[in-house]
A and B are shown apart, each in its own frame.
Chain A
Amino acid sequence: MEHHTIGLTLKVWRQKNNKAKGQFETFNVKNISTEMSFLEMFDVLNEQLVAENKEPVAFDHDCREGICGACSMYINGRAHGPWHNTTTCQLHMREYKDGDTIVVEPWRANSFPVLKDLIVDRSSFDRIIQAGGYISVNTGNAVDANSLPIEKHRADESFAAAACIGCGACVAACPNASAMLFVSAKVSHLALLPQGDPERKIRSVNMIEQMDKEGFGSCTNIGACEAECPKGISLENIARLNREYLGAVFSGDSQNA
C-alpha cells in the first residue's frame, strides 16, 4: 500500500485520577505515517507533549500485537476503532484521511473506573476469574496430553472461546455495560472440556454472582459485544453460559456462598 503522511485533530479524554472530573482536550498531530498503528500515533503525540513540557496522555498497552488485550480505547464511538476483529494496537492509520478528527475515550462502565486519562481498572474481570475460572488438577508430573481423548469440534469450540483476551471491549460496547460475553467465554472454554467437569456446577453460578457484585449490567442480548470483540467470541457462548447456569440451578446440587 502506498505510504503517505497525514495530519489529524485528536479529542482525547483527560482525567487526573480516579476522583477527578475529566474533560476532553484537543491536540493536533502532523506527519503521521499511514503505516503507523493507532498506538504509534499516540506515541508521536506523547513525544510532542513531552517536548512541550506537558503531561503525556496515559494509555494502556503491552504486547502491541493484538494478543494481550491491554490497549483499551474507545475511538469515534467504537471499541478499538472501526475495524472488525481488531485491537487498538492493530488498527492502522491508513484508516484515516488527512484532516480527520478522532475522538478517543476510555472504556466507560462503572465497573471499569478510570485510573488516569484512557487507563481503566479492569480488576473486576480478575475477580470474576478468581470466582470460578479455574480447574482442579493434581500436582506432580504433567499428564500425557493424549491420555484424555477430546472430540475435535469440542476442542475447536473450546479453543475459540479461550481466545478471549479479557480486553473488556464487550463491556465497553454494551449499552448495558454487561460482562456476559467475557464471562461466557471463560465459562465455555472450561465447560467444553472434561478437565472443567469437577467445578462445572458451581462455576457458572459463582462467576455470575461475582459479575453481579462487581456492578456490571444485565445482558439483554443486544449483540454489540459480539460485533466489537477483537477475538470474534460468539453470542453462542452466552447461550451456553445460560444453559450452564440453568443446568446448575435446576439440578439442585449447586452450592455456593
Chain B
Amino acid sequence: MSWKHSFSTSIGKKLQMSFTGLFLILFLLVHCYVNAQIFWNDGGAKFNEAAHFMGNNFLIRTTEIGLFAFLILHIVQGLALWAKNRSRRSVRYQVTAGNKTSPWYRRSMGLLGTLILLFLIIHLSKFWIPNRYAQTFGSGELNLYTRMREEFSITWVVLFYLGGCIALAWHLVHGFYSSLQTLGLTTHKYKKMINGIGIGFSIIVPLVFALMPLAFYLNWII
C-alpha cells in the first residue's frame, strides 16, 4: 500500500485531519504563551521582545510556512469531508435524534471550523499581514502592542474576538479528543485522561486568548 493511498482512504483522511489538527493545537499553545507576555503590564516590552524573536528567527519563519500549509490542508480536507459525509444520506430523516445521541458540538465541527476561518481572515488582516508587509516592503516591524491596544479599543472588534474564542473552544473540545481517537490512543486506560486534558486545554487556552482583547478594552493593562 503506497503512502498516497494510505492517506486517501477514509481513515487516511482522518489521519490528515488528526496530524494537522494536533500541529495547530501546538501552534495555539505557542501563540498563547507569546501573547500572554502582555500581562506583564510593562507597556509591551516583554511582548514585543517575544514577537520580535518569533518574527525574525529563521527556524520559526520556516515553520510558519509549514503552519500555513497544514492550516490550508486542515481547512480544505475538513470542508471536503463535511461535504462528502453530507452526501452519504441523500434522503434525510423526517425526525432526528438531535442532542439525545450526541452533543451538538461534535456534529458541528464544520460550522465551528468555518466560524474560526472567518475569524482568522479578519485576525490575520489586522495583525499578521500588515506586520509582514511592513517588515518586507515598509519601514520594518510594527509595534504589535500598540496595534493591539488600538484594535482592542473598538467594541465590535473585541466582541468579534470573544466570538472567535468561543468557537475555538468548542472546536477544540471535540478536536482534541477526536485527533487522539483517530490515532487510536483513546483506550480504556487513557480515555479519561485524554478527555480531561482536552477539556482543560479547550477552556484555558481560549480563555487566555479572550482575556487579551478584554484586558485592553477594560484598561486592565496600560
Question: Per a CB cutoff under 8 Å, which of B98, B178, B186 touches A220?
Answer: B178
A73 at the interface (CB under 8 A from B): no
- Over the window 175-190 of chain A, the binary record of Cβ atoms lying under 8 Å from chain B Cβ atoms (1 yes, 0 no) is 1111000000000000
CA distance A227 to B100 in the complex (A): 9
Considering only residues 216-257 of chain A, those with a C-beta below 8 Å from chain B are: 216-224, 227-228, 235-236, 238-246, 248-249, 254-256
How many A-B contacts are there with CB distance less than 8 Å? Answer: 132
Given the known interface contacts A175-B85, A217-B85, A218-B85, the answer about A108 and B92 at a Cβ–Cβ threshold of 8 Å is yes
Which residues of the partner chain A approach B94 to less than 8 Å between Cβ atoms? Answer: 11, 24, 103, 105
Q: Does residue A111 face the partner (Cβ distance < 8 Å to B)?
A: yes
Contacts of B184 in A (CB 8 A): 239-244, 246
Chain B residues with Cβ under 8 A from A118's Cβ?
none
B101's partner among A209, A217, A227, A248 (CB-CB below 8 A) is: A227
Residues of chain A with a CB closer than 8 A to B61's CB: none
Establish whether residues A175 and B107, one from each chain, have CB atoms under 8 Å apart when the complex forms: yes
Q: Contact: B93 with A74, CB < 8 Å?
A: yes
A227 with B102: CB separation less than 8 A: yes
CB of B200, distance to nearest CB on chain A (Å) = 19
**SS class of chain A's interface: helix, strand, loop or mixed?**
mixed
Most buried by A among B88, B90, B109: B88
Query: Does A211 make an interface contact (CB < 8 A)?
Result: yes
Chain A positions near chain B (C-beta within 8 angstroms): 11, 22, 24, 74, 76-78, 103, 105, 108-111, 173, 175-178, 205, 208-209, 211-212, 215-224, 227-228, 235-236, 238-246, 248-249, 254-256
- Which B residues are closer than 8 A to A by beta carbons? 1, 6, 9-15, 81, 84-85, 87-98, 100-102, 106-107, 109, 174, 177-178, 181-188, 191
